[in-house]
């Protein structure tokens, strides 16, 4: 068990570094494709800067963004995997060490409605543990800055609303919030479940590969429609005008109460950051 604890600590530390300094391949691919599709000269220049920034960050092992954010950790746990006790403390130790050793900016404050004193170690990490489908422990680290996080939102709809009304509401709200979220953005949407769980679904949607639609044909249609309408707003890269405002829209849904229709949006800026690793059951 001691070896497993050290393996988890090591993996979390490495994932913190990878996520903050190496842009996900799927995101980088879509950024470069966006550069070819963008019709605004200013938009093209903005995308050139974002692409170059990602290349420099990976080469020099420096953060893609100075806001190295709040850390979310997703653990997919196989049925017979012996998860160590006090996993929260173990993960926090790893995050603290990774941020200190690499000079990453710490952003977490105590007492949000009080003195908001900086904690200086960027903990706690916010951990979600879910069942794993294989015989490997899978860990994903997602650091997220405040710009896009602050633009996220949730609405409890009446189930009597139409799909078109939901889409129109989401596009209208995103039109107000995207300019403050370092576009082109990636939009994660959660639908269903409960007030607290729908936000998790929206964040989980950001872990899906950019370019991968929902397996549900109707949900995939809605993803495409929202993406098209956001890009028709003309907000563009860096909110300076253009036809590429959003790189991708992903929707995750779950069953819900017959009298409810929760919908949440978790936005990511162009630097959608996450990294994953697997530890086999031995």
Whether residue 118 is found in the same domain as residue 198? no
Q: How far apart are CA 63 and CA 104, in angstroms?
A: 7
**Is 97 a member of any domain?**
yes
Domain that holds residue 114: 2-29+58-144+273-280
- Same domain for 208 and 171? yes
Whether residue 125 is found in the same domain as residue 10? yes
Share of the chain above pLDDT 90, in %: 92
Q: Considering its fold, how many domains does the chain have in total?
A: 2
Is residue 62 very low, low, confident or very high in pLDDT (cuts 50, 70, 90)?
Answer: very high
Digit-coded pLDDT (tens) for 169-206: 999 999 999 999 999 999 999 999 999 999 999 999 99
Residue 43 lies in a domain: no
136 and 257 housed in the same domain: no
Q: Do residues 138 and 162 share a domain? A: no
């Amino acid at each position: 068990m001691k070896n497993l604890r050290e393996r988890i600590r090591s993996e979390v530390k490495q994932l913190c570094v990878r996520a903050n300094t190496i842009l996900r391949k799927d995101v980088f691919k879509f950024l470069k494709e966006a550069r070819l599709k963008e019709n605004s000269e200013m938009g093209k220049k903005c995308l050139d800067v974002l692409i170059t920034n990602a290349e420099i960050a990976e080469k020099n092992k420096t953060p893609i963004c100075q806001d190295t954010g709040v850390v979310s950790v997703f653990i997919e746990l196989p049925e017979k995997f012996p998860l160590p006790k006090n996993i929260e403390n173990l993960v926090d130790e790893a995050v603290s060490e990774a941020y200190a050793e690499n000079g990453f900016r710490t952003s977490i404050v105590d007492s949000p409605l009080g003195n908001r004193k900086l904690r200086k170690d960027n903990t706690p990490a916010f951990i979600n543990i879910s069942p794993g489908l294989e015989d490997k422990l899978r860990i994903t680290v997602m650091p997220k800055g405040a710009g896009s996080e602050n633009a996220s939102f949730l609405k409890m709809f009446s189930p009597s609303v139409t799909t078109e009304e939901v889409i129109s509401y989401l596009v209208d709200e995103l039109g107000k919030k995207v300019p403050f979220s370092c576009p082109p953005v990636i939009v994660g949407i959660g639908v269903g479940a409960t007030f607290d769980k729908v936000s998790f679904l929206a964040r989980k949607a950001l872990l899906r590969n950019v370019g991968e639609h929902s397996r549900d044909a109707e949900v995939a249609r809605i993803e495409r429609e929202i993406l098209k309408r956001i890009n028709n707003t003309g907000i563009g890269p860096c909110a300076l005008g253009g036809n590429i405002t959003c790189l991708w829209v992903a929707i995750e849904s779950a069953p819900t109460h017959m009298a409810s229709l929760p919908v949440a949006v978790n936005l990511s800026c162009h630097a959608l950051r996450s990294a994953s690793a697997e530890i086999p059951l031995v």
